[in-house]
Structure formats: structure tokens, C-alpha cells
Amino acid sequence: MSHPLLIGIDGGGTTCRGAALYGGKRVTRAVPGANATSDFEGAVAAVRAVVQALAEALDLPVERLAQAPAYLGMAGVVDARVAERLRRELPFARLVIEEDRRASVVDALAARDGAVAVIGTGSFLARQTGGAMRFLGGHGLALGDEASGAWLGREALAATLRVSEGWGAGSDLTRGLWDEMGGRSGIIAFATRARSRDLAELAPGVVAAAEGGDAQAVDLITRGAGYIAGALTALGWQSGEALCLTGGLGPVYAGALPTAMRAALTKPQGAAPDGALALAGRMAEGCLP
């Protein structure tokens, strides 16, 4: 059975990516994203914007897209209440909404057995065996998101404060953050109001500092890699199983993982929003559990 129009949307905390398949033609578009729990209005606006962009790319009215089978994997959809609240704000007549974790696994592994560490603004890990998925993490920065961009930013600021109080040696990273933020009061003020994506904007500087050998930055990358390795072990990952590091920061940790995990690293099968579109196809065929 063929469906002339399918919509798949991967709504990440930083970027919301959408894909549409229409008459054999596939188009993709991306807009700034938001987390449905921490920024509900921003998440709704992101989905609406990417749907509008897809409609324009296909030269179709939004109303036409709204009648298509649509799958939405959205960061921050932690329960049915959030999903239903989103559903009421969106135009789709046939819509599956869930957290973005399953779509990310399909992006990376398709149907293969293996594991994936998705490390972006937030983070989570998953292992797929025989089509069944098990997840770990993805609970937000207040309760986790270790190794993520937001975590790197927060931990870099925390390290800067510790150094200022005589705990540990300073580095170019901590001195730079101290000056940029305006010292202790500025760091605390920024951290108090910062959202995850604001903290994640500090992550590229941490990564660059680590690549340059900055001791404080290297320590953060080492800690993040340790979390990834521990989480994979908790998921039951076995040596020899495929392992993908995805998200904007996933590959950063490759060199700091244990030898067996480094040896298992493989390129993802695809990238967002491939998984969301594939799941929209399964939904249209009635085989999305």
C-alpha cells in the first residue's frame, strides 16, 4: 500500500528537522528547535515553522500536509499529557507523538542490533536487539543529560567557580569563562536564568579547549566519556556490537572511550529526520507499535 504524502519530524532541543515524502519526492527542512517540557510554546512554534517550510518546498498548502500521516519525535515529550497538549496545538489529523528517542535510534541503526549514544543539547543512550529498544537517560539537565552540550556548559562554569575558590588549577578555559561572564556574580546570574540550549552554547568552547590540551576541558571530556561507557555497560552492550555516536557532540567522545568501544564504532545508517520519516511510513502501514 502506498501513501502519496508522509511527514516525519524530529524535534530536537536545538534544531527541529522535518521531512516530507510526496509522490516519490523527498524534501527536508530545519528550523530552530525547543524542548516540549522546558519551552512548550517554542516547541509548538518550531513544529509549525518546519511544517510551513515543508509545505512551501512542496508547493502545497499546509492544510494538505495536515491530512497526511505524520510522526513527531519531540524532545521533552516525557508522558502522554505532554503529547496530548502538543496534539491540540498542531493541525495534523493523523499524528503519532512521542519522545525523540526512538526516531534517533532508527536514524542511527535502522534495523541493526547495536547501541547509540545521542549527545546533543541533551543526551540519552539506547540499545536495540531484535527490534526491541531499551533506553537510558534523556531526563533533562536537572536530573542528568550527562556528557551533553548543556552539561558541558554547566560543568565548565562550575569548574570555573571551584578554581576561583582555590580548588584545582586554573586553565585558559576557566580564565576565559571568568572574564567573559564577569566573575562569580556573572556566572551565577547567567546559570540561574540559562536554559539548556543557553548552556550548550558554551560547549564548542569546551571542545576546542580540550582539543588544545586544556586540562580542565580534557577532564570534562574524560568524565563525559566515562558516563557514556558506563551507560552502555548498564544497557548490556557487548563487544562487537555496532556502536554509533550521534548528535552534535557524540563524535567528540570517540577517542576517550575504552578500546573495545572505540573498535565497535560505526557510521550511523542515516541522520535526522530519516528515522522520523521511516516511522511515519510504518505508522501509515499500521505497523508502528
pTM of the model: 0.86
**Res 287 pLDDT > 80:** no
Q: pLDDT at position 77, please? A: 92
Distance CA 118, CA 262 (A): 16
For residue 289, what pLDDT is reported? 64
Q: Where are the domains of the chain?
A: 5-105+271-284, 112-268
The string of pLDDT tens digits covering residues 72-121 is: 999 889 899 999 999 999 989 999 999 989 999 998 998 899 999 999 88
Please give the Cα distance from 88 to 105 (Å, whole number): 27
> What Å distances lie between residue 72 and 115, 179, 185, CA to CA?
22, 41, 40
The whole-number average pLDDT for the span 12-19 is 89
pLDDT value of residue 76: 86
Which of the pair, 166 or 3, is modelled with greater confidence?
Answer: 166
Closest by Cα among 3, 14, 15 to 273: 15
- Rounded Cα distance, 259 and 279, in Å: 34
Place of cell 536495540: 128
In three-state secondary structure terms, 228 is: helix
pLDDT digits (tens, 9 = 90+) for 121-144: 889 999 999 989 999 998 889 998
How far, in Å, CA of 50 to CA of 20, rounded? 10
The more confidently predicted of residues 255 and 271 is 255
Q: What band does 3 get if pLDDT is binned at 50, 70 and 90?
A: low
Give 175 or 272, the one with higher predicted confidence: 175
Q: Can you tell me the distance from the alpha carbon of 202 to that of 199, in angstroms, rounded to the nearest whole number?
A: 6
285 — pLDDT class (breaks 50, 70, 90): confident
Count of residues making up the chain: 289
In the predicted structure, residue 2 carries a pLDDT above the cut 90: no
Mean local confidence (pLDDT), 9-34: 91
Q: For residue 133, how many C-alpha atoms fall within 13 Å in the half-sphere facing its CB?
A: 20
Cell numbers at 178, concatenated = 571568568
In this prediction, residue 84 carries a pLDDT of: 94
Residues forming a β-bridge with 242: 114
Task: Quote the mean pLDDT of the chain.
Answer: 93
Which band of pLDDT confidence, cut at 50, 70 and 90, is reported for residue 1?
very low
For range 243-267, the mean pLDDT: 96
Average pLDDT over residues 261-285: 91
Instruction: Note the pLDDT of residue 37.
Output: 84
Count Cβ neighbours within 10 Å for each residue of 240-264 and write b for 16 or more, e otherwise.
ebbbbbbbbbbebbeebbeeebeeb
Whether the ω angle into residue 69 lies within 30 degrees of 0, i.e. cis, is no
| Four-way CATH pick for 112-268: 3.40.50.1000, 3.30.300.210, 3.30.420.40, 3.40.720.10 | 3.30.420.40
SS3 assignment, position 59: coil
**Cα 283 from Cα 279, distance rounded (Å):** 6
- Residues 164 and 171: their CA atoms lie apart, in Å, by 11
pLDDT value at residue 12: 83
Is the pLDDT score of 62 beyond 50?
Answer: yes
Question: What is the structure's pLDDT at 197?
Answer: 85
- Supply the angle between the helices 149-164 and 183-193 in degrees, to the nearest 10: 150
Cell 556573572 locates to 186
The pLDDT tens digits for 186-244 are 999 999 999 888 999 999 999 999 999 999 999 999 999 999 999 999 999 999 899 99
CA dihedral of 80, 196, 105, 232, whole degrees rounded to 10: -110
Decide if 5-105+271-284 and 112-268 have a common fold.
Answer: yes
Q: Which CATH number fits domain 5-105+271-284: 3.40.50.300, 3.30.300.30, 3.90.79.10, 3.30.420.40?
A: 3.30.420.40
What's the pLDDT score for residue 118?
Answer: 93
Torsional sign, CA 15, 107, 120, 124: positive
